[in-house]
Amino acid sequence: MVHMPAIPEYSSAELLSKMDAMGMPNELRESFRKCIDFHTYAAPGMLIGVFMVDYALTLLGKKPEDKIFVTCETTKCLPDPPQIIMHATTGNHRLRVLPIGKFAMTLTPFSAKESAEGIRVYLDKEKLKKYPTISSWYDNSPSFKPATMKKQLADEILAAGQGMFSHERIKMRVTHKKKWNSVTCPVCGDQVPEYMMEGDKCAACGSMAYYEKIT
């Protein structure tokens, strides 16, 4: 049996110790600790996401406990920090995840109007020129070698902090909660919201079917 060599990377304790040595504020360090525990490991995208949430909140002049709605533009790693830091989740309808592949998120405070103004923060390719390891990782370039460069990547992320982001002011349409009727799908017999029917069957029996019954 061939044993593969361990990939050199920082443990969670080592990363947190580095943050202490950098003089990172306790509140931000605690956000990293909680997010690493939740994500189960210190993924680079998740580490960047913690800095991104902190930056966006600073730009908005808001606190994590304020009622803020978040849209993440990728499913990879980025949705976890707003869940832990801001308690914005898909279940409480304050987190939306769009699988469009951009490492960016928008934060918009609650608005009773038809639209809300907020901030969109994104990983800026121009600014990443200062951070070649992050850039090669982000580009999924062959020059990034996971077997030897994970510590180097973590070091650059901590050194870059908010310096790898840019932002823009945005306005987005707000969809307020409306009453809906429940109907029974004639195919599967389950109850679903009427607005989720696709003609004569529910989405689970149509375009969103994802399993087959075993008989």
Q: Band of the pLDDT at 2, cuts 50, 70, 90?
A: low
pLDDT tens for 145-159 read: 999 999 999 999 999
DSSP symbol at 190: -
Q: Band of the pLDDT at 176, cuts 50, 70, 90?
A: confident
Rg from Cα positions in the chain: 21
CB 96 within 8 A of CB 70: yes
Q: What does the block give as tokens for 166?
A: 């840019």
Q: What does the block give as tokens for 203?
A: 């989405």
Q: Residue 129 contacts by C-beta under 8 Å, 6 or more apart in sequence?
A: 135
Q: Residue 148 contacts by C-beta under 8 Å, 6 or more apart in sequence?
A: 8
6 pLDDT above the threshold of 60: no
Percent of the chain topping pLDDT 70: 97
Q: What does the block give as tokens for 15?
A: 């990363």
Domains detected in the chain: 12-173 (3.30.1330.130), 178-215 (no CATH)
pLDDT tens for 90-149 read: 999 999 999 999 999 999 999 888 899 999 999 999 999 999 999 999 999 999 999 999
35 pLDDT above the threshold of 60: yes
